[in-house]
Amino acid sequence: MLTFLLKRSWIMLLTALCLTAIVFFLTNIYPNLEKLAKTQGNMRMTDEQVERWLGDRGYLRPMVSRYGEWLGVMPGWTNTDEDGKFTGRCVNPDDTPETASRFCGVLQGDFGMSTVFKEEVGAIIVKKMGLTGMLMLWVMIVMIPMALIVGVLAGMKEGSRTDRSLSTFAITTTATPEYVSGVIFVVIFSSSMVGLKWFKGSAASAMNEITFENFTLPVMTIALYGMGYIARMTRASMAEVMTAQYIRTARLKGVSFPKIVLKHALRNALIAPFTVIMLQFPYLLTGVVIVETLFNYKGFGWTLVQAASNNDIEMLMGASIIAVIFVLVTQLISDIGYVYLNPRIRVS
Amino acid sequence: MEQLGAGGIIAGILTQFVPVWIGMVVIFAISIATKRKTGLYGRLFDSPVGMIGFGLVIFWVLTAIFADLIALYDPLEQISGMKNKKPGWPVEGQEGMYYLLGGDALARDVFSRMVYGSLTVLKIAPTATLFAFMVGVTLGLPAGYFTGRLDDGLSFLANLVLAFPVILLFYLLVTPEIRSTGIPVYLAAVLFLFPIVFLVVLMQTKFSTQPGKMWFWLSIVLVLGLWAYSGLAFNRDPFGVFSMDPNLLNIFVSVVFVNSPTVFRIVRGLTMDIKTRDYVAAAQTRGEGPWYIMLWEILPNARGPLIVDFCLRIGYTTILLGTLGFFGLGVSPESPDWGMTINEGRKLLSIHPHPALPPALALMSLVLGLNLLADGLREQSLKD
């Protein structure tokens, strides 16, 4: 087990390094830097002005060393201009060459400054992750029980009418991406056309206080799309378990059907969905980005979109680290959990 | 003229779709009449789920084909006075003409835009999926067959792409800035090579004992393939037949890039499973080469799950294209593609919901059709 974990951690580290390097490369190609300079400085800057703006802020040095600085394995750049003004990557406004720290990168816990939000990236991420965490939590609370119930009910008696209708429902939800269901929900539940006006079409107020009225639609939108897939996996796994020998034995012994389902089938049927639920997390991330944009909930996904459309390099790097760690850790948990739940499998 | 009521709108829409109804009746009649002779396709018509799915898909395919006949207006035509008008609103100065599903914020016909949107989606989604399959199959077969170092390396790359949040990848890859660096062209140059490699190896292994036939087919594949390659990837087709708008190429390449690692993993898994079968061992004993075994022994036996996944993946690609459009990264700002139209429509959603709903429902029904079709195919192929 320990060697397995070590090997996995090594691969995870390598993956994270590669991915951040790719993001760094793509955000730092010259046309993107030019865009950054123009949005931060002035839209009508000439090419020379852009060059000077970028040069002054250390953007034009070799990409490898700048990636090293961002990681914190290479000393940050410093520069003293003609007036004796001392600037640099790790230099605060009142620092002198002696007091400024040499390294400031991810390894030192410094994620840099966001150019769009004018704040520390680390602080933004912590704040936004809190908001998105709340959304995810409610999505999980709604989605997992719903998916498991639908899946178990459908898989209990394969081919029955319940199975047919629940399976069709599950397929329909997987065919309805968030931007479709979100739009339909808003039209039905909060527009003046249908006139129900049960919920709010915007979740902006949910950032301060979550209420049933402003949070239902975003949560339902994400939960519905994610639900179908888990439900179908649960159904398949349940249907398979129901054909097993020990279920037949239990039936022949005269155990009642609800008891068979709850005591004999359920535990074995839930192994496969567990993995699926864990692997579903990364897909939820895309859903979160869409829903946060649609309902104007300014969490992590919304921040990612803002950062990406303004080429906010440090913010994007920070966000991608978080996203990548998130994906990799869920993969790891799903693998380990699978082993613990299923005694037939052992990792060597 | 008066505004049409709900009945009038429905009647109007049904009439506009007449070419599609005729086409569907013909296709269904022929397919059901010959269903005992057409194998898996024919057996699809034994399952109600598969039939509904097939019906939905064929509906949109025919809509795309007959888009010019069905649509009442050009997708970009703006008629003054029709801005945000309700469904069934008569067009001023044109006797008997209506905006069946209303007008959008730029006074364009929502119905016609929805119809033309199907064309954009059905041009990109199936082809991009096909390309992703070519890449996934060409890499997944050797990875699963040889395993070892090759497998480790390719799997690492595949997991690398899969660990990327899709949305971030799109934001990084589909921008005008990236286009100006030429990265999409390099990506296309790599990804578009795979179909050619795949077909060349396919022909070479099949006819390796008949050099005459082999060279005949190889030359056809190479001439056609490289001709299309020069046009699609580099936009340098000497005859100007194959070409791709740089923006479209960017989207196409990104979608293929995102989809192929998943296909790779599926094919690799299937190969590892099938490789242990007796007929593979028999082929190995006969002294067949590894590529012959992969392409002519393993691949045909993996076709069931692959066909099912192909249908599902077209649906997923449609959703991806919609997502791209939703974030304003779509084909072109004016194009009627569904995701883009939803994005434009959502801004006024609570006051004028009608421009956003039709493309949303259209996209949903197409993806639902593909999912049901995949389900029907899976059910029928398991009956063997």
Q: What is the DSSP string of A244-262?
A: SHHHHHHHHHT--HHHIII
User: Do A324 and B371 lie within an 8 Å CB cutoff?
Assistant: no
Residue A27 Cα, gap to closest chain B Cα (Å): 7
- For A323, nearest residue in chain B (alpha carbons): B165
Residue A45 region, left (φ>0) first, then alpha (ψ -120 to 50), else beta?
Answer: beta
- Could you tell me the CA-to-CA distances from A225 to A39, A56, A184, A292, B268 in Å, in that order? 36, 47, 13, 15, 28
CA distance B194 to B267: 15
pLDDT > 90? residue B138: yes
CA closest to A308 among chain B residues? B171
Residues B375 and B365: beta-carbon distance below 8 Å? no
Judge contact between B89 and B102, C-beta under 8 A: yes
pLDDT > 70? residue A93: no
In terms of CATH architecture, what is A121-341?
Orthogonal Bundle (1.10)
- pLDDT band at A344, cuts 50/70/90? low
Instruction: Answer whether A304 sits within 8 Å of B168, measured CB to CB.
Output: yes
Closest chain B C-alpha to A90 CA, distance in angstroms: 27
Which chain A residues touch B254 with a CB distance below 8 Å?
Answer: none
| Residue from A63, A110, A102, A68 nearest A314 by CA | A110
Dump pLDDT digits (tens) for B43-70.
888 888 889 999 999 999 999 999 888 8
Give the residue carrying structure tokens 């965490």.
A133
Nearest to A183 among B156, B181, B342 (CB): B342
For residue B121, pLDDT beyond 80 = yes
Kindly provide the ipTM of the predicted complex, given to two decimals: 0.86
pLDDT for position A35: 82
Which of A179, A187, A311 should be substituted to probe chain B, the one whose Cβ sees the most B Cβ atoms within 10 Å?
A: A179
**How many CB pairs (< 8 A) connect A and B?**
141
Cβ–Cβ gap A11/B156 under 8 Å: yes
Domain boundaries, chain B: 6-115+347-381, 119-315
Secondary-structure breakdown of chain B: helix, strand, coil percentages, each rounded to the nearest 5: 75, 0, 25
Mean pLDDT to the nearest integer, B359-373: 93
**Which of A225, A141, A223, A236 lies closest to A180 in space, CA to CA?**
A225
Contact A180 B357 (CB under 8 A): no
CB contact under 8 A, B177 and A192: no
Q: Does A241 or B98 have the greater pLDDT score?
A: A241
Residues of A in contact with B327 (CB under 8 A): 293, 305
Whether A177 sits inside 8 A of B322 (CB atoms) is: yes
What is the distance of C-alpha B144 from the center of its chain?
A: 26
CA distances A98 to A37, A91, A92, A95, Å, are 30, 10, 12, 8
Q: Report how far residue B333's alpha carbon sits from residue A305's, in angstroms, rounded to the nearest whole number.
A: 18
Orientation of helix B211-234 relative to helix B193-206, angle to 10°: 180
Alpha carbons A234 and A292: distance in angstroms, whole number: 28
Long-range contact pairs involving B79-82 (C-beta distance under 8 Å, separation at least 24): B79/B103, B79/B107, B79/B108, B79/B109, B80/B107, B81/B107, B82/B107, B82/B108, B82/B109
CA of B8, closest CA in chain A: separation in Å?
A: 19
Taking the CA atoms of residue B210, residue B213, residue B214 and residue B219 in that order, the dihedral angle to the nearest 10 degrees is: 160
pLDDT, tens digit (0-9, with 9 covering 90-100), for B251-290 = 999 999 999 999 999 999 999 989 999 999 999 999 989 9
**B141-188 pLDDT, tens digit each:** 999 999 889 999 999 999 888 888 888 888 888 888 888 888 888 999
User: Cβ contacts of residue B10 below 8 Å, gap of 6+?
Assistant: none
A331 contacts in chain B (CB < 8 Å)? 163
- Would the pLDDT of A347 be above 60? no
- With CA atoms as reference, the chain B residue closest to A293 would be B327
The residue of chain A nearest to residue B352, with distances taken between CA atoms, is A193
CA-only gyration radius of chain A, Å: 26
- Cβ-Cβ contacts under 8 Å, B329 against chain A: none
Q: In chain A, what residues touch B375 (CB-CB under 8 Å)?
A: 171
**pLDDT tens per residue across span B190-249:** 999 999 999 999 999 888 888 888 899 999 999 999 888 888 888 777 777 777 888 888
Rounded to a whole number of angstroms, the distance from the CA of A271 to the nearest CA of chain B is 20
Determine the residue of chain B that is closest to A229 in CA distance: B371
C-alpha A87/C-alpha A94 separation (Å) is 10
Measured between beta carbons, which residues in chain A are less than 8 angstroms from residue B323? 177, 179, 286, 290
Q: What is the H or E stretch that residue A88 is in?
A: strand A86-88
Subunit contact A15:B156, Cβ cutoff 8 A: yes
Q: Is A86 helix (H, G, I), strand (E, B) or coil?
A: strand
Q: For residue A285, which residues of chain B lie inside 8 Å, CB to CB?
A: 165, 167
Of the candidates B160, B172, B180, the beta carbon closest to that of A26 is on B172
Strand partners, B98: B90
Cα–Cα distances in Å, from A83 out to A79, A103, B224? 11, 25, 65
Q: Measured between CA atoms, how close is B380 to chain A, in angstroms?
A: 14
B145 closest CA partner among B311, B269, B263, B53: B269
C-beta atoms of A286 and B181 within 8 A: no
